[in-house]
Each structure stands twice: as C-alpha cells, then as structure tokens.
Amino acid sequence: MSIKSFIKWSRTAKLQERMSIARILGRTWCMEELLDQEKSSLVLAMTHLLDDPSSMVRLSLARAIALSDTVPRHVVLALSEDHPDVSGTVILHSPVLNDKDLIDLIGRGNKMISIFIASRYKLSHVVAENLVENGCADHVIALLENKSVILSRSLLTQIVKRFYYNARVRNLLSLRTDLSLKAKYLLMKSVCDVLCESKIVQKALSSRRIKIIAEENMRVGILDIVSNVHNMSNVHNMQDLCELVDLLQEDGQLTPALLIYAIMIGAIDFVVVILANITEYSTDRVHSILSTGGFHVIRSLYELVGIAPDISDIFVEATIVWRELAVGAILVEPSIIAEKLLKRIEKMNLSGGSVAELLEMIERIHLEVKRRYVRSIANRSSSLIAAA
C-alpha cells in the first residue's frame, strides 16, 4: 500500500482498525529486516499516525516502538509530549531519548512529564540533578521512589535543603542508608522544627518547655548520627564528620552540653573533630592531647575552645574517665562513664551556678543513656526470642 493510499484509508478506517495498524507498523519497524524504501514508507506512515485524532491509536504505536533504539527521533519526541498515557510509555522506556531531550522536556514545565522522567529506569545523575533544581516536591518523590536511580550524597543533601517541608520527602529520605551526616542532621532538624511549630505541641506545652525538649532531642539526635559512624580512619568518613561539625558550628549547636554528652558516650572522634575545628589544630594533635595529655594540658585545650574555667575541670575528668575505660576496650558502655564521672565530681567539691547546671545535665544524661542501654538489651532479647 502506498503512503497516499494509507492516508486515504486511515481517514475512513474504524478506531480498532487504526489501532491495529499502528501496532503492526511499530512491530514491523522493530524487526529491522527492512529495505531502505520500506523503512521510508514506514516512517511516513508512523509520522501520519502522530496526527491521528484518537490517543488510543498513538498509544498503540508508542507501545510497539517504546523499546526500540532505532525509531526515528522525531516520532519519539512527538510522542513524548502527547497525551499522558502516550508520553509516559515513551518517556519511561525509550532508549532514543537522551539526557538533553529529557532536560528539555523538564524545561517545558509539564508536571506529569517530569514525574515520568523521574520514574525512568536508571536515570542519569545529570537529569536527576536538573529535576531536583527545577522540579517540585512531586518530582522528587517520584525520584526517591525510583529504586534504579543512584543519587549522590551531595544531591540527597540538596533534596533535604529544598524539600524538607514535605512530609513524604522526609519519610522517603529517612528510609535511606546512603545519606551523608550533614543530610541526616538537616533532616532531623527539619522534623524537630515541624514538631515545635505544631499547633498540638504548642497547645500542650509552654514555649520554654518546647525549647528545652527540642534542644535535648537535637543533642541526642546529633550523637545518634555520629555514633553510627565507624572506621574513622576512612578519609571519606572523616570528611563527612568534618562537614557535619562545620554545619553544627554555623547553627550554634556546638555547645558545652553537646560536648560533655559526646565525651560521656565515648564519641571521642566527634569530640576531636569539634576541638580541632575550633582551635584549628590538626585532628592528630587533638587526639594525642585527649589520649595522653596531662590534666592541665587537657584543661587548657577545653578552655581554648571556650569552656569556662569554673567547669573545665569537669570536662577534663570526663575525658580521663573515658581514657581509663577505653584502654583495651572495644566498646565503652556510656552509663559507666557517667557513673564514674558523677562519683569523681562529688569529691571535687565544686560550686557555682554553672557547675550546678552542668551537674544536673550530666545526671540527666546518665539517666538517659542508662535507659537507652536497657532498651537496647530488651530489643536484642526480643530479636533473639523471635529468631528462636
């Protein structure tokens, strides 16, 4: 049948007939055993079908050619901006569409098309980055739900910064194991802010109480984040931790309370990076001071970073307790550090408002780490019982 005859036939053919011929034309093209003249006729016929009044006909064509990498580009590009059923079929599967094509489609501003692109199998980092920069929360949700896409840590951090306000985005991010420490902190902070701004919370608690609870939970959350970092000799892990500390300093989170808590749970690598960041000493030098330095040397280090002289002795004692317990130990149980520290402080005969405030905080930390330790034992026991 000549192209003229085909066009004439299509004007009077029924819908089912046109759908059938569209499917046949697409499958015939995919056979790739055609003469040049036959290919030319097929291209003209498929091009004519792009203007068919029924999207069902165009969908039949799209489904037939979606996986082919030899289909003429103009056919694929036209179908990619068609009715959602049609465009989705092509965008999700066609190997003809390259990164530039996909970025151009994103730039057209069609929300549904961008969602299809975000759901595309093994989407490239370049296109994913463009979606995050120019897309909306729905696009990012589709991207995070696409298990075939590998998202870099920097891109995930960018997602947290841009879309922290969206509950679904936060939930999808919280399920990932590849977030940087910085991204985990920003995610935790956004959740904390949302809870503090909740009308239910504001009705139930005073603003002062909300602030206290938020600060305590931020401290606990930060230390939970860093306590899960292992193998600090790894350059990437250390860089990750340094980036987190820089951000914590910008946010005003590097407080004496956080520092004493970190010492008491044995997060000494975190303490080292904090002190090195503020003093601009090397991490090796700071670690050496904390591990082998005398009482006065350690106190000078803490006072150099801004710890008041009336409470610096407590920080030194906490460090020495950690040091004594850490010798030859694989894991230092946090409640033991707190317990020993409280006993030593009682003998130090310290006084003053700052001291009393810090002591109260240490007692709260002691209680908290004790409860968490017991809960972890209970959880492990439950897991063993379930496994048995």
Q: Quick check: 236 pLDDT over 70?
A: yes
In this structure, of 152-156, 224-228, 279-283, the range with the lowest mean pLDDT score is 224-228
Helix (H) or strand (E) holding 38: helix 36-49
Q: How far apart are CA 272 and CA 298, in angstroms?
A: 12
**Looking at residues 130-148, what average pLDDT do you find?**
95
Give dist(CA 261, CA 172) in Å, integer: 30
Structure tokens at 186: 């920003």
Q: In angstroms, rounded to a whole number, what is the distance separating the alpha carbons of residues 319 and 288?
A: 12
Among 143, 163, 183, give the residue marking a domain's end. Answer: 163
Which one of 148, 163, 178 terminates a domain? Answer: 163
Q: Whose CA is closest to 60, among 91, 31, 38, 89? A: 89
Whether residue 242 lies inside any domain: the answer is no
Which residue is it, tokens 């984040």? 225
Is 248 among the domain residues? no
- How buried is 347 (Cβ within 10 angstroms: 0-12 exposed, 13-18 middle, 19+ buried)? exposed
**Same domain for 149 and 294:** no
Q: Indicate the range of 201-210, 264-273, 336-345 predicted with least confidence.
A: 336-345
The per-residue pLDDT for 19 is 93
Q: Do 154 and 16 share a structural domain? A: yes
Percent of the chain residues topping a pLDDT of 90 = 58
pLDDT at 380 over 70: no
- Is residue 103 very low, low, confident or very high in pLDDT (cuts 50, 70, 90)? very high
Residue 347 has a pLDDT of 80
Same domain, 152 and 45: yes
Which of these three, 163, 187, 217, is where a domain ends?
Answer: 163
Residue 308 · residue 330 · CB < 8 Å: no
Q: Is residue 114 part of a domain?
A: yes
Residue 195 forms part of a structural domain: no
Q: Quick check: 388 pLDDT over 60?
A: no
Contact 29, 42 (CB under 8 A): yes
Kindly state the percentage of the chain with pLDDT values over 70: 93
Do residues 159 and 258 both lie within one domain? no
Query: Nearest 5 degrees, angle CA 96-CA 2-CA 81?
Result: 30
Whether 112 maps to a domain, the answer reads yes
Specify if 244 maps to a domain: no
pLDDT in tens, 56-69: 999 999 999 999 99
**Residue 378 pLDDT exceeds 80:** no
Residue that wins the pLDDT comparison between 333 and 143: 143
Query: What does pLDDT average to over the chain?
Result: 88
Domain boundaries, position 125: 3-163
Same domain, 10 and 156: yes
CA 193 to the chain's CA centroid: 18
- pTM for the full predicted model: 0.81
Task: Give yes or no: residues 12 and 158 share one domain.
Answer: yes
The confidence score (pLDDT) of residue 365 equals 81
Q: Average pLDDT of 301-313?
A: 92
Same domain, 157 and 53: yes
8 shares a domain with 147: yes
Binned at pLDDT 50, 70 and 90, residue 382 comes out as: low
Instruction: Please report whether residue 65 resides in a domain.
Output: yes
Q: How many residues does the chain have?
A: 388
Q: What is the rounded average pLDDT of the residues 206-235?
A: 83
The structure tokens 């809870």 sit at: 195
260 and 159: one domain? Answer: no
Q: How much of the chain is helix, strand and coil, in % rounded to 5?
A: 75, 0, 25
Of 372 and 214, the structure prediction assigns the larger pLDDT to 214
d(CA 78, CA 197): 47
In a domain, 223, yes or no: no
The predicted structure's pLDDT at residue 383 = 59
Is there a single domain that holds both residue 20 and residue 128? yes
Distance separating alpha carbons of residues 334 and 275, to the nearest angstrom? 21
Say how many domains are in the chain: 2
Q: Name the residue with higher pLDDT: 233 or 259.
A: 259
> Token pair of 251, please?
């946010």
Mean pLDDT along residues 80-85: 93
Question: How confident is the model over 312-318, as a mean pLDDT?
Answer: 92
